[in-house]
Amino acid sequence: MPAITIDWNKVDHPELVLQRFPSRRSQIYGTKGVVSSSQPLATEAGLEILRKGGNAADAAVATSAALNVSEPSCCGIGGDAFCLFYDAKTKTVKALNGSGHSPQNLNLDYMRKRGIKGGQIPLTDLNSVTVPGAAAAWVDTVEKFGSGKLTVGQVLEPAIRLAEEGVPVSELHSYAWQRSEGLIRKASPNSDEMLLNGKAPLPGQIMKFPNLARTFRALADQGKEGFYTGRIAQAIVDLIQSQGGVMELEDLANHKTSIVEPIKYTYAGEVTVYECPPNGQGITALLALGILEQIQEQGKVKPLLDMDHNSAEYLHVLVEALRLAFADSQYYVTDPVFDHIPVEQLLSKEYLTRRAALFDSTKADPKVIHGNPVNSSDTVYFTVSDQWGNACSYIQSNYAGFGTGAIPKGCGFTLQNRGSGFILQEGHPNCLKGGKRPYHTIIPAMALKGDDLFLSYGVMGGFMQPQGHVQVLLNMLRGFTAQAALDAPRFCISSGTPNPDDKDDVFGVVNSEIYFEEGISPETIAKLRAMGHDARIASGFSRSMMGRGQIIQRIVDATGATVWAAGSDPRADGHAAAQI
């Protein structure tokens, strides 16, 4: 029988085929381990490592590398990574910051001489490329948190096999690829390494990445030096310098991952949420939770969990708390090596009480600005658990989709544009400087009850991420299953972006424009507009701004045994699966 195929070139509007979000997914359960990711083949790569005796950290790296192959429109070895690891033996959470620094020779004066007049480095300017941190993060995750039973090479083997043999492109990922086809073509002379016969692949078409497999093998065989020195490093520098960039080989050779202490906030005396510290934006979620708690303690609203879910009253308080939180984090978050970040003061009850006092239960604040806590001045998320009770919350990103879209010759990956997160404004805490890490959007999360793991979770998607952390956590505290918590309609505050009209303070004033997903009633939207919210509706593919989350929940059954329950976001192509 001949093969049955769909000629997508003959479909009038292929994107409409992919807009049918409604589906039914059941929560999955397992007793040994679970992998939840946005791509089924990446989930299987993680399961393969669990079956070989690897732990959650080992399997997370296998999943991460496989996502580079199966979803390069969001992530890859040319980007950055962060993780949180729950160690079941010590009942502690550890954090890893795998973000890269700007080139030592890059500064504000250079960008002005280059003719850049705006507040940020353009996304396609190769000076927006910071040193890719993912490669080192993979190695360090295995070496610092792994089981010790598997080498980095063994952990990367599933991804290498996928890159060499090829992967069929999934539906939503294909659409993202098609939207970036022009970017990839223009960004470098090496676009053929990320295109199929000169075009973005269509759903079901097989993409092979032989050069990416070579890059993975260099990392597997030579460790971090295989990426940060030699052929790959030289290819990165050659490409960047060919387009006016200033990155040097020394910038790559000097890169190091940071093992850091996570920051945390205990909400309602019930659950402690852990985030990676700045330069990541995880503090935004903690600030919002603290402000929400204080708003309730001040009696301005009734308890959140007593409100109707996604009612106008409920959404109003969440939106306003998150806007207050963003105003602070987008001003204060930067590289702590360069500027002091008052994390303790920002999360203090005294400061959160002052911020909560600004909340008005009847109307929106049209212009929320950052406070002063002291007297001085595209992405993939996935999560893994294992049979020993460990969990790994992992996230990686190119920043804007394929990042710059530029491909170092013979390497098979695109370079990120994370440096666009810097602010080109003298005196701003997040101002561009050489050797500095920028404000970072990607954030994994965990939640504990006492010392016991409750959730390993996250919601990918730029400035949506802390918004998703808060919304999904509150859904879980309402008693939603992990899958239902992800299925529920969400809102997005203008992607959390700063107000470009505020010339004096680029970060620190947050737009009032808010998008509400289909599924939130028109009556609720009308009430929010009457309260002064610039409420808009996100439908079809615009729902992608709501992020794509994954959750693993630890449940203890009547016998005291651990059961893992997991969900995977229907806004992505992936699923959760349990080890047998």
Distance, CA of 383 to CA of 38 (rounded, Å)? 10
Residue 413: C-alpha distances to residues 132, 161, 184, 202, 228 (Å): 11, 16, 11, 19, 14
Backbone angles phi, psi at 169, to 5 degrees: -80, 135
Angle between helices 283-297 and 312-332 (to 10 degrees): 130
CA 459 to chain centre: 7
What HEC string does 206-235 produce?
Answer: EECCHHHHHHHHHHHHHCCHHHHCHHHHHH
- CB burial class (10 A; 0-12, 13-18, 19+) of residue 557? exposed
Residue 27: C-alpha distances to residues 215, 484, 550 (Å): 36, 8, 11
The continuous run of DSSP H or E covering 87 comes out as strand 80-87
Q: Which amino acid is at 204?
A: G
Q: Which two tokens stand for residue 43?
A: 């989930």
Distance, CA of 369 to CA of 357 (rounded, Å)? 14
Q: Which amino acid is at 359?
A: F
The continuous run of DSSP H or E covering 152 comes out as helix 152-165
For the beta carbon of residue 298, count every other beta carbon within 10 angstroms: 12
Distance, CA of 433 to CA of 314 (rounded, Å)? 41
Backbone angles phi, psi at 552, to 5 degrees: -120, 125
The answer to whether 404 and 417 are in contact (CB under 8 A) is yes
* Residues 331, 335, 340, 345, CA torsion sign: positive
Backbone angles phi, psi at 245, to 5 degrees: -85, 165
How many Cα atoms within 13 Å fall on the side-chain side of residue 320? 29
277 contact partners, CB below 8 Å, separation of at least 6:
95, 97, 260, 261, 262, 263, 283, 336, 341, 343
The answer to whether 371 and 347 are in contact (CB under 8 A) is no
Which one, of 346, 355, 300, lies nearest residue 323 by Cα? Answer: 355
Distance, CA of 488 to CA of 472 (rounded, Å)? 9
The answer to whether 67 and 38 are in contact (CB under 8 A) is yes
E strands in 376-435: 379-385, 391-397
Which one, of 484, 485, 508, 534, lies nearest residue 319 by Cα? Answer: 534
Residues marked as catalytic:
379
Distance, CA of 469 to CA of 181 (rounded, Å)? 31
Distance, CA of 494 to CA of 474 (rounded, Å)? 21
Report CA dihedral (491, 493, 494, 500) to the nearest 10 degrees.
Answer: 180
